[in-house]
A and B are shown apart, each in its own frame.
Chain A
Amino acid sequence: MITALKIGGLALSRGERALFSGLDLSVSAGEAVSLVGRNGAGKTSLLRAIAGLLRPTAGTIGFEGPDGALDPQDARVGGLHMVGHHDGLKPGRTAREELQFQADWTGGGDIDEAVRALDLNRLLDLEVRRLSAGQRRRVALARLLAAPRTLWLLDEPMAPLDAGHRRGLGEAMTRHIAGGGMIVAAVHDPLPIPARDVQVGA
């Protein structure tokens, strides 16, 4: 269980290009953070670095639990979800098969409540290739609810959703935060919940 995320003096680069440096950020339980910045500022890269997929050029990313610092790899594997543009859903499999796999894989199991909350009932038996961008995103987001993990890393979670489902996701986020969860989201439109803005890049 992660109770805080601490980032100190972080610098990231993609290939030869330096994205940003000297980024400090700390997020504690029950807090939501919006990462804002122009396109290409490094918001997605920051999320990937927190998830351990991208090695920082400098600085530290640490996770804390109730009893002090956690091993970063253990904390990530059991404690965070990342949902971005690349959702990993296989076009040839049904939404139900993919959601069930993602839930099982990330330590959940029961998908019923997530299906209800994100209004996926009519989509479950369709192949993923038949879904629209917004429907796909809802299937991908469903694992946040099906497999409870503390820290949500979201990359433009709202972008393809319609107004009704943005509201639904907002309610799910509110419940997550109220339950001691944490959200770090890269956004251009404001999140539908109270969140602290953090500027990424100059």
Chain B
Amino acid sequence: MTTCFNEMFDDGAVRAPYARLEDWTRSLPAGLRHMKQAEAEALFRRIGITFAVYGEGGDPDRLIPFDMFPRVFTANEWARLDRGIRQRARALNAFLVDVYGRGEIIRAGKIPAHLVYRNAAFEKAVVGIVPPKGVYSHIVGIDIVRTGRDEFFVLEDNCRTPSGVSYMLENREIMMRMFPDLFRENRIEPVDSYPALLRRTLASVAPLKCEGEPTVVLLTPGHFNSAYYEHSFLADMMGVELVEGQDLFVEGEFVWMRTTEGPRRVDVIYRRIDDAFIDPLCFRPDSMLGIAGLMDVYRSGGVNICSCPGAGVADDKAVYTFVPEMIRFYLGEEPILNNVPTWQCALQDDLKYVLAHLGDLVVKEVHGSGGYGMLVGPKSTADQIERFRARIEENPAKYIAQPTLALSATPTFVEDGIAPRHVDLRPYCLVGDRIELVPGGLTRVALTEGSLVVNSSQGGGVKDTWVLAE
């Protein structure tokens, strides 16, 4: 593997945005650093910022490792990312309204019909529906990797219910609490307006029949869910009720929640459960998490569901390849952020190339997530590669492949000092009557030396992400 771009250095010299951090690390001897690290962990644990993993034994309250070394973007770098992310969020929503409507992009021959209509995430139940303000995906998480000074790529889109934003907010809180001087010396754009913006966005897409100030709720699968902390945190920060399926019911034309003062109407549901579980009458009949009849109310304009059912068809890894086409088709613009070149194993020529170059590529399942079920060619043994080859041959359409990118690295505290570790970035773009994006996002870091897998379920950690003011 070639050497990767270290975001702190350029030709051996410290880059401007990291200059003050270099002084900071010198003022932080190992002893103090270990103390601060322990303090951070104690804070996380006391506040209860854990992700619960049930059913695997061990401590159910796990901490995501937090690295105190911030990751920094300049105002210029961010300006470009900001434009690119907003552009993508607009195109993805235009695509969703289109494919559940007339399907112009398919008639125009820009995307193969089967990729959309035979996609497992394509929801027949919402065909013909244009949700309020024409928005299907209200929170778009766009995973971005960097490979050089000015080279950014979109790795994937998350149009359903991207998670992790609570870490973006809490990482900042903890850093400000532990190192106030850093924030006095550097001019760092704040991110704490996110919950207010999220609430505003959700209220802006209230359904047709809503009168007055809309009642917004956050629907969680419950306290056994690994992201429960985030659900509870966001509901609290927004000042909305955190509900479970059992708290809601359908009566007449509306959805109601059970309160100590009797039933209260609900207008907007920010749901953190999958499509398949939200309404047992419409989707999985065995779902205990959903609300029977919800989809009828949704269809008749009595409630809005964020993100709307069916939004997942836009973030599928096979559809991903066509996002640049969407941007050109719907917006008449050239993509500001590029895709990673991708081979579709469903296509004969691509498949042939992939099978011949397995040792150099990253192969992923089209519907996979969380870093599971993937092959990182250069990091795998011949045996692992051969076993994966058999799986691809069995069902090629299930896989896509990408070149192994030389992901950028940022300085990270490790056992014996500071060392570069690979990172990615997930900003959270809010789409309602207007598009909002707080300057920052969640930086995930692969803590194992050389590793490219940043997922928290596989030993990844998180960092505070700074965007410097002009």
Q: Do A and B come from one complex?
A: no
Residues of A participating in the B interface, judged by any CB pair closer than 8 Å: none
